[in-house]
Amino acid sequence: MIWKVIEIHVRRLRHNRVEWLLTFVVPIAFFSVFAWIFTHGVGTTPKVKVALVNAADVQAADVQAGSADDSVPASEAFQRCQQVLDHLAESEGLRVMKGTPPATGLDRKAAETMVRRGVATIAVVIDWEGNRFTADLLNDSSDQVASQVVSALVTQAMMGDAMPSAAAPISAKNNEPPTDTHTRQANPEFSQFVRKVAAESASQSPPDASFTAAPAFAPPQIEVVNILGQGKSNPVISVYAAGIAVMFLLFNASTGGGVLLEERENQTLERLLATQMTMDQLLLGKWFYLTLLGCVQVTVMFLWAQLVFGLDLLGHLDGFAIMTMATAAAAASFGLFLATLCRTRGQLGGLSVIAILTMSALGGSMVPRYVMSESLQRAGLWTFNAWALDGYDKVFWRELPVAELGPQLTVLMAAAFGLLVAARVLAIRWETA
Amino acid sequence: MISTTPPAISVTDLRKSYPLPGAGWGFGSQTAKQHVALDGITFELRQGERLAYLGPNGAGKTTMIRCLSGRTQADSGTIELMGQRVQRSSPRHMLGLVPQEIALYVDLTTRENLFAFGRFYGLRGSELQRQVEWALQWTGLADRGDELVGTFSGGMKRRINLACGVLHEPEVLLLDEPSVGVDPQSRERIFVMLDQLSDRGTSILLTTHHLDEAESQCDRIVIADHGRVVAAGTFEELLQQTIGIDRVVRIQLDQPLRGEGNEPFATTGLALTVRPGESTVTAKVSEIAVGLPRLIEAVGAADYCVVDVEVQSPTLHHVFLHLTGRELRD
């Protein structure tokens, strides 16, 4: 008997292609997607998007140039900072963002705006004060990796190749930047500094003493300034609230769309279309319902996030409302599109699981997109999870005004319209069969 | 001046074909194989009449219903509804459709279903309210109006299924297998409900495989096969057209028929089947009061004794098999 039960299930599995797909293909597909994400198996290693700012003010400094001062001349300070920035620009781990419109010389404010708008993950503001480099890393703290990576690279750039050994060529008459050969030469003064620090360390002297003893080589001062997320209770709550909400919005929309197939299977659709109701009215009725349900569902979830996890929903109500409506509308259209694409509820079940999990994985509902390779991030833009999450990110994290949501709203509304039209076209076959 | 009442439904030379599965995507349809569902169907449903539309599986009954309800477009031919020619997109507010499946929202209550379908048929306000209350009484489910349909028996669901199709008081009602899968009590109740609709003047076209229902509950019968009407008329007319009205009398003898000495049977003047070795004599008798005594007398004269007598009236079942054959269709 037990064997017969096993046999029956094996035979049923053999005849059910959707179950085959869900049992064997989908897990492998998802393993592969996540393996690509975490091993960067596809495309290139994700680069940190940086905005580089040379804060050494040439003109202001040049005014002081005549004054008796021990400090390095302003133009030389500017060149030193520029050397560090040039070196950072060559780093394989960074992608330098030029801003809009592309500008060669960003100032601190412009760079900060770029970070706030998500154009850059972090801005590096380099200056030369006294006898040492200072760097402010204007950080978006939602990316918990970027500041550490950039901090290390900036330190390396300041302490290594670009230290004042280059002073000679920089202060050379032509005021030209040093050649690559120059910047990568061993720096005897820096070596002396390192030896001195080592010696001080060995004699257990306070390090600060060594710095004062060697004013030409004070260590760089690097400060990470969280311009986004400062003071927020939990920086990732809004990210995950949006990610999970969008994913379940899609599942609910798909289930809601499945009602259409259920109605078709039990002839309710036949009966409905024999009344005064048209297919247009039926689809629009379902679309409005699913959109409304989606709005309520996401609102309940964010309210919970506010009550329990301290998310500031009420403070961002306008952006939240408009993003939620657009996302729910797109999800509703997606659910109806999938339903009209399929012939049976079984097909819909299989297809929706595959489609939604893939979209959620690529679109950032499961893993933040910033940890993905660039090619995966680009692929993610084909999912509206990514656009929805970017929108919520702008609202809750970057706290940008509603006007900044234009690209996200455009894509989501276009998806909502396009998928609804596609669903209507697919439903023609049920009208004329 | 002569006024004639137009038929509730008049179907003339209706044709409809479907591409066979796997016959391609419709390109080069000249060569694609087609399944002919309707092959020139012509019949009428008279006003106030109850017509049974019968046929074996695959005869095109469902396609016919779909054409009438506007759910599919015939390739050619005409359909007139109350004297008005209808196109696929024509409004069918005078038509009610009750599909074979329980086409209800089982997770809604009886009342919610009735309100929903009443609204879909264009009712609103007090009229909708009144019709819902009527339907609850009509189905005998007034006390179950607020219970979920999913919890009901098959017979109760069938009654609500029927009610949802007639809330808007259609002049013509299309019923696809209205009594399939229900017990005799529920079936009887359904036909009482249909009688009430008939009393209201509703013209009813129903498909069924219960031939006894068609015979006893319908005014006229149309039998279709291979997409064509093969017979139409009242039951008696169908009998006349096909197997005749004679009853079949079967007499069980006390012994097998002998090979000789059976001459008395020949003098009865009846159409007899007498085969030596068998224990029965079968005769077709038009007037049973005359023919049966004559047959029993002949049995005695041939030195046999009567063990049992069976008189069988011709039924629609016999007519149906006579017209459509005994081969399986699916």
B99 touches chain A (CB under 8 A): yes
Query: Are residues B292 and B146 part of one domain?
Result: no
* Cβ-nearest to A277 among B95, B120, B164: B120
The minimum CA-CA distance between B176 and chain A, rounded to whole Å, is 11
B103 and A273 within 8 Å at the Cβ level: the answer is no
Query: What is the DSSP track for B48-93?
Result: T-EEEEE--TTSSHHHHHHHHTTSS--SEEEEEETTEE--TTS--T
Q: What is the pLDDT at residue B36?
A: 85
A343 touches chain B (CB under 8 A): no
CATH number, span A48-228: 3.40.1710
The minimum CA-CA distance between B207 and chain A, rounded to whole Å, is 16
Q: What is the pLDDT of residues A95-121, one digit of tens each?
A: 888 765 555 567 788 888 888 877 888
Chain B residues inside the 8 Å CB shell of A266: 101-103
The ipTM assigned to this model is 0.81
Residue A257 has pLDDT above 70, yes or no: yes
Considering the domain boundaries, does residue B27 fall inside one? no
CA-to-CA distance for A270 and B171, rounded, in angstroms? 20
Query: Are residues B84 and B223 part of one domain?
Result: yes
Residue of higher predicted confidence among A255 and A218: A255
CA-to-CA distance for A168 and A187, rounded, in angstroms? 11
Q: What is the pLDDT at residue A387?
A: 92
Minimum mean pLDDT range among A211-215, B178-182, B214-218: A211-215
Q: What is the token pair recorded at B26?
A: 């419709």
Return mean pLDDT, chain B: 87
Q: What is the pLDDT at residue B28?
A: 45
Q: What is the pLDDT at residue A169?
A: 41
Residue A424 has pLDDT above 90, yes or no: yes
**Which helix H or strand E contains B198, and what residues bound it?**
helix B184-199
Q: Which of B306, B305, B324 is nearest to B316 (CA)?
A: B324
Considering the domain boundaries, does residue B24 fall inside one? no
* Cβ-nearest to A275 among B72, B101, B120: B120
**Helix, strand, or coil here: B231?**
strand
Query: Are residues B81 and B229 part of one domain?
Result: yes
B120 and A433 within 8 Å at the Cβ level: the answer is no
Chain B residues inside the 8 Å CB shell of A268: 101, 103-105
Considering the domain boundaries, does residue B327 fall inside one? no
Considering the domain boundaries, does residue B321 fall inside one? no
Query: Are residues B276 and B207 part of one domain?
Result: no
Considering the domain boundaries, does residue B230 fall inside one? yes
pLDDT more than 70, % of chain A: 76
Query: Are residues B262 and B222 part of one domain?
Result: no
Mean pLDDT of B256-283: 86
CATH number at residue B271: 3.30.70
Chain A residue whose CA is closest to B94: A275
| Confidence band, pLDDT 50/70/90 cuts, at residue B324 | confident
CA-to-CA distance for A39 and B122, rounded, in angstroms? 60
Considering the domain boundaries, does residue B120 fall inside one? yes
| Confidence band, pLDDT 50/70/90 cuts, at residue B47 | very high
Q: What is the pLDDT at residue B46?
A: 92
Chain A residues inside the 8 Å CB shell of B73: 432
Chain A residues inside the 8 Å CB shell of B121: 275-276
| E-state strands within chain B | 9-19, 34-45, 50-54, 76-81, 84-85, 95-98, 172-176, 203-207, 220-225, 228-233, 247-253, 271-274, 280-285, 306-312
| Confidence band, pLDDT 50/70/90 cuts, at residue B52 | very high
Q: What is the pLDDT of residues A190-210, one digit of tens each?
A: 555 556 655 655 555 444 444
The minimum CA-CA distance between B26 and chain A, rounded to whole Å, is 13
Choose, out of A255, A267, A272, A275, the residue to mutate when testing the contact with B (most B CBs < 10 Å): A275
Chain A residues inside the 8 Å CB shell of B93: 276
Mean pLDDT of A365-392: 82
Query: Are residues B67 and B41 part of one domain?
Result: yes
Domain spans of chain A?
A: 48-228, 234-432
Chain B residue whose CA is closest to A430: B71
Q: What strands, in cross-sheet order, belong to the sheet with B247-253? A: B271-274, B280-285, B247-253, B306-312
* Cβ-nearest to B121 among A268, A275, A432: A275
CA-to-CA distance for B103 and A192, rounded, in angstroms? 89
Residue B90 has pLDDT above 60, yes or no: yes
A274 and B69 within 8 Å at the Cβ level: the answer is yes
What global pTM score does this model have? 0.75
Considering the domain boundaries, does residue B234 fall inside one? yes
Considering the domain boundaries, does residue B121 fall inside one? yes
Q: Across the A/B interface, how many CB contacts are shorter than 8 Å? A: 45
Minimum mean pLDDT range among A66-80, B126-140, B301-315: A66-80
Interface of B with A in 158-177 (CB under 8 A): 164-165
B95 touches chain A (CB under 8 A): yes
Choose, out of B97, B124, B173, the residue to mutate when testing the contact with A (most A CBs < 10 Å): B97
Query: Are residues B256 and B112 part of one domain?
Result: no
Chain A residues inside the 8 Å CB shell of B70: 274
CATH number at residue B40: 3.40.50.300
Query: Are residues B306 and B251 part of one domain?
Result: yes
Q: What is the token pair recorded at B287?
A: 């007037």
Minimum mean pLDDT range among A122-131, A216-225, B106-115, B135-144: A216-225
Residue A161 has pLDDT above 80, yes or no: no
Query: Are residues B251 and B237 part of one domain?
Result: no
A274 and B73 within 8 Å at the Cβ level: the answer is no
| Confidence band, pLDDT 50/70/90 cuts, at residue A72 | low
Containing structural domain, residue B51: 7-18+35-94+170-184+200-243
Choose, out of A266, A267, A271, the residue to mutate when testing the contact with B (most B CBs < 10 Å): A271
Instruction: Tell me phi and psi for residue B234, to 5 degrees.
Output: -75, 170
The number of folded domains in chain B is: 3
Residue A2 has pLDDT above 90, yes or no: no
pLDDT more than 70, % of chain B: 93
Residue B186 has pLDDT above 70, yes or no: yes
A267 touches chain B (CB under 8 A): yes
CA quadruple B221, B223, B229, B235: dihedral positive or negative?
negative
Q: What is the pLDDT at residue A45?
A: 55
pLDDT more than 90, % of chain A: 18
**Helix, strand, or coil here: B44?**
strand
Q: What is the pLDDT at residue A17?
A: 77
A28 touches chain B (CB under 8 A): no
B74 touches chain A (CB under 8 A): no
Query: Are residues B265 and B208 part of one domain?
Result: no
Q: What is the pLDDT at residue A185?
A: 45
Q: What is the pLDDT at residue A287?
A: 95
Choose, out of B73, B101, B106, B157, the residue to mutate when testing the contact with A (most A CBs < 10 Å): B101
A277 and B164 within 8 Å at the Cβ level: the answer is no
Chain B residue whose CA is closest to A282: B120
Q: What is the pLDDT at residue A194?
A: 55
Mean pLDDT of A7-17: 82
| Confidence band, pLDDT 50/70/90 cuts, at residue A38 | low
A432 and B69 within 8 Å at the Cβ level: the answer is no
Query: Are residues B117 and B141 part of one domain?
Result: yes
A271 and B165 within 8 Å at the Cβ level: the answer is yes
A273 touches chain B (CB under 8 A): yes
Q: What is the pLDDT at residue A215?
A: 47
Q: What is the token pair recorded at A46?
A: 């994700």
Residue B130 has pLDDT above 80, yes or no: yes
User: Are the beta carbons of A170 and A177 closer than 8 angstroms?
Assistant: yes
* Cβ-nearest to B73 among A266, A275, A432: A432
Query: Are residues B231 and B125 part of one domain?
Result: no
Mean pLDDT of A140-159: 79
A278 touches chain B (CB under 8 A): no
Residue A61 has pLDDT above 60, yes or no: no
